[in-house]
Amino acid sequence: MTALHPDQTIIAAWIRSGSRVLDLGCGDGRLLAALQREQGASGYGIEIDPENIVRCITNGVNVVQSNLDDGLADFDDNSFDYVIMTQTLQAVRYPHHLLHEMLRIGREGIVTFPNMGHWKCRAQIAFGRMPVTQHLPDTWYNTSNIHICTIKDFEDFCDHENIEILQGTAVDAQHRGGTAMRLMPNLFGEIALYRFRRRP
């Protein structure tokens, strides 16, 4: 079984044992497979890439082939304990709608995304270039990232949309934390991770 990515290890620690989980853009299914094996979780992955779907099946993960831009109308309200979306928020057409759909069908949502507010991005923009970094590796004309944001942007969105942030952390490109990222995450964090729910 393939080991979890470091950000997936952080996410796994946020999820209670025995939970029902939906993983949007689940890739090869390794996170769901680990949650099933180690925490007694159940659920589904949604993935569009045929090769990844085969990998999900090989990993013992139930997977549905679907494009997230088509929405989540096939899922009932409160069907899952957690709905996860890693490194995909910036690539969907209507991220605000998808975030609300995550909280319609799940009690809590978990997202990760590259932080456009990181100092390397700011420096490249200051010199007149669109940022190219380890987690934003494509140039402006061939990138799939159409809605990139900063940590501050995401937190402002949650506040405006009555979404309560339960946990959040910022890490570097190797998914390591540090004092600077805890004190000034929007400046020094390269990747943001958040767990949230609809505010009571």
Residues whose CB falls within 8 Å of the CB of residue 16, separated by 6 or more in sequence, listed in order = 39, 81
Inter-CA distances, 30 with 15, 37, 50, 79, 88, Å: 15, 10, 16, 21, 16
State yes or no: pLDDT of 25 exceeds 70. Answer: yes
Q: What is the pTM of this model?
A: 0.91
Residue 42: predicted pLDDT: 95
Domains present along the chain, CATH in parentheses? 6-198 (3.40.50.150)
pLDDT tier at 2, thresholds 50, 70, 90: low
Query: Tell me, what amino acid is at 182?
Result: R
**In terms of Cα–Cα distance, which of 54, 63, 76, 7 is closest to 32?**
63
Query: Could you report the per-residue pLDDT of 87-131, keeping only the tens digit for each?
Result: 888 889 999 999 999 999 999 999 999 999 999 889 988 988 888
Query: Could you report the per-residue pLDDT of 159-199, keeping only the tens digit for each?
Result: 999 999 999 999 987 778 888 888 999 999 999 999 999 99
Residue 1: predicted pLDDT: 47
Percent of the chain topping pLDDT 70: 99
Residue 179: predicted pLDDT: 87
